[in-house]
Amino acid sequence: MDAAIACEGLEKTYKNGVKALEGVSFKVRPGEIFGLLGPNGAGKSTTVRILATLTRPDGGTASVAGCDVIGNPAGVRLRIGLVAQASGVDKWATGRENLTLQAHLMRVPAGEIPSRVKTLLQWVDLTGPADRIVKTYSGGMKRRLDLAMGLVNEPTVLFLDEPTTGLDPETRAALWRDLKRLRQERNLTVLLTTHYLEEADHLCDRLAIVDHGKVVVEGTPAELKARISGDTVTLEVGGESARAAALLKPLPGVLETIADGSRAIVRADRGASAMPLLITTLERAGITVSSSTLSRPTLDDVYLHHTGRRFQGEGEAGSEPAA
């Protein structure tokens, strides 16, 4: 198998006229954690719904685990696990009952079900509350049960649609640990959607930024950060920031300079090696640099570069610091 997930030119317009996807294309290799990153309404969930056979695309093609989502949806369903944004567990059933029903529906051989359910409950650390109804579970417990539900058929591809939205930071960190453990233990392909830059940076082998129903850029987090040119050098220059900015602008490797109060902010190729030149230039002109900092581009810079907007303030991630 070449790609675990391949989609090409996916289009979807909802009945109310909302254009959710306008040609989404990307490929996910077997065994990798692939992130779809974008603000709410960018088309992440619609993409997952198409790949999980819950909705049909209006145009384009997609295959998951070697099965075409339109030609062979039954084949796709047997090979995937879906952990949707709205949990999808039955709150009036116990954890064990939820898993057992899911196993039946996923065509797990009846004889294997009890032992598989038991193993999964252990794996997500829900053995104790296994026979309590889910209504009594905490948010984190419910999410771990969701994850177990998605794994009950030992899927080839697992979809996680905003798995940590609405979770407190501690629970989120615990879920990240689970996902990393999952990747170590099973050779599973994961498609993860998120609107948390930090999460994408932390978990994904590769990611695609989705905006207005299109993939605007795709690559590893490191690649994406390296691809947007330059580092940010911030120089503390007292009252001379405007003159400093003007002086530095023509230097080789400098892409952009901004005077920001007492600081001159310089975006430069290979900031670390440019720094000595920047400082000596200023010193020679009689401007004292009292401090300097160098920062690597973050995914936020990547996002800004490709969409023309800051990521922060989008969606409900208001309190989330940009990575």
The answer to the question of residue 106 lying near another protein (CB under 8 A) is yes
List the one residue from 18, 40, 59, 91 that touches another protein (CB under 8 A): 91
84 — alpha (psi -120 to 50), left (phi > 0) or beta? beta
Nearer to another protein (CB atom), residue 49 or residue 183: 49
The answer to the question of residue 77 lying near another protein (CB under 8 A) is yes
Between CA 77 and CA 81 the distance in angstroms is 8
Nearer to another protein (CB atom), residue 88 or residue 219: 88
68-93 burial code (b ≥16 CB/10 A, e <16) = ebeeebebbbebbbbbbbebebeeee
Stretch binding another protein (CB under 8 A), from 85-93, 197-205, 220-228, 246-254: 85-93
List the one residue from 87, 229, 234, 281 that touches another protein (CB under 8 A): 87
List the one residue from 21, 42, 149, 248 that touches another protein (CB under 8 A): 149
Q: How many residues bind another protein (CB under 8 A)?
A: 31
The answer to the question of residue 93 lying near another protein (CB under 8 A) is yes
Between CA 159 and CA 30 the distance in angstroms is 13
Closest CA to 209 of 43, 52, 62, 91: 43
Per-residue binding string, another protein, 20-49, x by CB under 8 A, is -----------------------------x
Closest CA to 294 of 205, 217, 234: 234
List the one residue from 18, 19, 40, 107 that touches another protein (CB under 8 A): 107
Nearer to another protein (CB atom), residue 97 or residue 205: 97
The answer to the question of residue 111 lying near another protein (CB under 8 A) is no
Contacts 24+ apart (CB under 8 A), 49-58: 50/7, 50/10, 50/12, 50/21, 51/5, 51/7, 51/76, 51/80, 51/159, 51/191, 52/76, 52/77, 52/80, 52/82, 52/159, 53/77, 55/12, 57/10, 57/11, 57/12, 57/21, 58/11, 58/12, 58/13
List the one residue from 1, 105, 255, 258 that touches another protein (CB under 8 A): 105
Place of tokens 């969409």: 307
Q: How far is the CB of 74 from another protein (least distance, A)?
A: 6
List the one residue from 19, 104, 177, 309 that touches another protein (CB under 8 A): 104
CA angle 260, 265, 271 (to 5 degrees): 170
User: Which tokens go with 85?
Assistant: 């944004």
List the one residue from 61, 85, 165, 220 that touches another protein (CB under 8 A): 85
Residue 314 CB neighbour total at 10 angstroms: 17
List the one residue from 21, 37, 89, 264 that touches another protein (CB under 8 A): 89
List the one residue from 52, 208, 265, 266 that touches another protein (CB under 8 A): 52
List the one residue from 10, 64, 82, 208 that touches another protein (CB under 8 A): 82
Which element (helix H / strand E) includes 225? helix 221-227
Nearer to another protein (CB atom), residue 44 or residue 263: 44
The answer to the question of residue 88 lying near another protein (CB under 8 A) is yes
What residues make contact with another protein under the rule CB under 8 A? 15, 49, 52-56, 74, 77-78, 80, 82, 84-93, 97, 101-102, 104-107, 133, 149
